[in-house]
Amino acid sequence: MEEKNLDELRRQIDAIDDSILELLNRRAALVIEVGRRKAATGQPFFVPSRERAIYDRLAANNPGPFPSSAIRGVYREIISASLSLEQPLTVVYLGPQATFTQEAAIRQFGLSARLVPAKSTAMVFDEVLRGRAQYGVVPVENSNEGIVSHTLDMFLESDLKIYAEILLEVSQSLLNLSGRMEDIKRVISHPHALGQCRLWLEENLPETPQLDVSSTARAAQMAVEDPSCAALASEMAASLYGLKVVKRKIEDNPNNFTRFLVIAKASPAPSGADKTSLMFSVRDQPGILCRMLEPFSKRGINLTKIESRPIRKKAWEYVFFLDLEGHLAESAIAAAVEELRSHCQFVKVLGSYPRSITLRQE
């Protein structure tokens, strides 16, 4: 009797799955028509604000018991497949495979996009600039280790814009071939990953040498080649390269997030919850920074980040990178930026784009 009841429940689930499949195909037919109209009017196919609105609306209307936290993951792949029907997307990211940058790209664009690894940040910018990829994904800062200087430097040389941002929770695992701590003679990883796990390494592997490499994925590759090495990397790297997890979640601060930027040839339209990034250069003078920030202060514009970098070709001159809330299309933002221009050697708007929600590891 119990088995018959179970069979009936399974038949009901199968019928619901058939209905879901029918609805997905009806949705796909509408998406194809949307794609035709976008192509005819020259509108962008990927609109991050539209995706965010879909996730937020569905989560708000969800009566349960299906968890709202899972809605984004489900619809990310539905939207990704839909975008591939409108126009196949090519996205280049800072590789190699199994880096956190690849994970961020998957979280933003889904598995239906064509994701291509690049060997350097400069190559990511170049691929997008030359039109071989519509979008690029690069890391820009970590909540514990700070700014990724090379990414900021690239914006000095490029006319590409920030199209979106991704805030991804980052968790480091210790990986090697055997899965045993006693086999570890050297720990290798990207400098930021080693820095994120500094206290744990000092306590658990105090005498073990550490080696900086170009990425966490490269560290995983080296751990495959040398059984005496352990890598700090993601669990995705363990799966991809055939390593075993010695210890999970060994970052010193559990609130460990990395911010990634999506770059493109243009910025998106206002979404209503936006951020603007810009850079400007001034001569080193007493009180100059205070004067540079006054256009924003007197208009009540909230600044969320400011970083400075020396201009490598000019001694004692600096370029500042600024994030603020709002879109350049807003009159107050536009006026503040224009006033800033009158005081600076140069001002460059890097883009206005939707503020990201925080994506936790799945």
Q: Is residue 96 part of a domain?
A: yes
pLDDT exceeding 70 applies to what percent of the chain?
94
For 194, the 3-state DSSP assignment is helix
Residue type at position 152: L
- 205-214: pLDDT as tens digits: 999 999 999 8
Same structural domain, 72 and 96: no
Range 346-350, long-range pairs (CB < 8 A, 24+ positions): 346/280, 346/281, 347/278, 347/279, 347/280, 348/155, 348/156, 348/278, 348/279, 348/280, 349/276, 349/277, 349/278, 350/155, 350/161, 350/162, 350/277, 350/278, 350/279, 350/321
- Span 232-278, pLDDT tens digits: 998 888 888 899 999 998 988 878 788 999 999 988 888 888 999 99
Q: How far apart are CA 323 and CA 275, in angstroms?
A: 7
Rounded Cα–Cα distance for residues 303 and 352 (Å): 14
What is the C-alpha to C-alpha distance for residues 106 and 345, in angstroms, rounded to an integer?
39
Domain edge (last residue) among 26, 57, 82:
82
Do 157 and 210 fall within a single domain? no
**65 and 94 assigned to the same domain:** no
pLDDT value for 174: 94
Q: Is residue 269 included in any domain, yes or no?
A: no
Q: Hey, what are 98's tokens?
A: 């199994």
> Is 290 contained in some domain?
yes
CATH code of the domain containing 39: 1.20.59.10
In angstroms, rounded to a whole number, what is the distance separating the alpha carbons of residues 179 and 189?
17
Kindly tell me if the per-residue pLDDT of 333 is higher than 90: yes
Tokens 């004692």 sit on residue: 316
| Range(s) of the domain holding residue 221 | 173-247
Is 24 found in the same domain as 54? yes
Report yes or no on 252 lying in a domain.
no
Q: Is the peptide bond before 354 cis (omega within 30 degrees of 0)?
A: no
Side-chain half-sphere exposure of 247, counting CA atoms within 13 A: 16
Whether residue 65 is found in the same domain as residue 107: no
Query: How many structural domains are present in the chain?
Result: 4
The predicted model gives 179-191 an average pLDDT of 93
Q: 66-82: per-residue pLDDT in tens? A: 888 788 888 888 888 88
Residues 166, 181 within the same domain: no
H-type helices in 42-99, by residue range?
Answer: 48-61, 71-86
What is each CA distance from 283 to 108, 310, 343, in whole angstroms? 39, 11, 10
Catalytic-residue membership of 258:
yes
Q: Quick one: 162 and 203 in the same domain? A: no
Return the CATH number at 157.
Answer: 3.40.190.10
Residue 130 reports pLDDT greater than 90: yes
Is residue 146 situated within a structural domain?
yes
User: In which residue are the tokens 């004067």 written?
Assistant: 291
- Tell whether 46 is covered by a domain: yes
Tokens 């999506």, located at residue = 262
- Per-residue pLDDT at 202: 94
For residue 120, is it within any domain?
A: yes
Model pLDDT, residue 22: 93
**Nearest-angstrom CA–CA distance, 318 and 309:** 6
Q: What is the CATH number of the domain that holds 351?
A: 3.30.70.260
Say which of 46, 109, 155, 260 is annotated catalytic: 260
**Whole-angstrom distance, CA of residue 223 vs CA of residue 225:** 5
Indicate if 143 and 199 belong to the same structural domain. Answer: no
114 three-state secondary structure: strand
Within this chain, do residues 151 and 184 fall inside the same structural domain, yes or no? no
Which one of the listed residues 90, 258, 280, 320 is annotated catalytic? 258
Q: With pLDDT > 90 as the criterion, what percentage of the chain qualifies?
A: 43
* Residue 3 pLDDT level (bands cut at 50, 70, 90): low
Q: Are residues 279 and 347 in the same domain?
A: yes
Task: List b or e across 48-66, with b for residues whose CB sees 16 or more CB atoms inside 10 angstroms.
Answer: bbebbebbeeeeeeeeeee
Domain identity same for 292 and 353: yes
In a domain, 242, yes or no: yes
Range ranked top by mean pLDDT from 41-55, 77-91, 98-112: 98-112
Average pLDDT, the chain: 87
What local confidence, expressed as pLDDT, does residue 313 receive? Answer: 61
b vs e for 143-167, b when ≥16 Cβ sit within 10 Å of the residue's Cβ?
ebbebbeebbebbeebebbbbbbbb
- Among 264, 297, 323, identify where a domain stops: 264
Same domain, 24 and 35: yes
CA 349 vs CA 156, 166, 279, 305: distances in Å:
11, 19, 6, 15
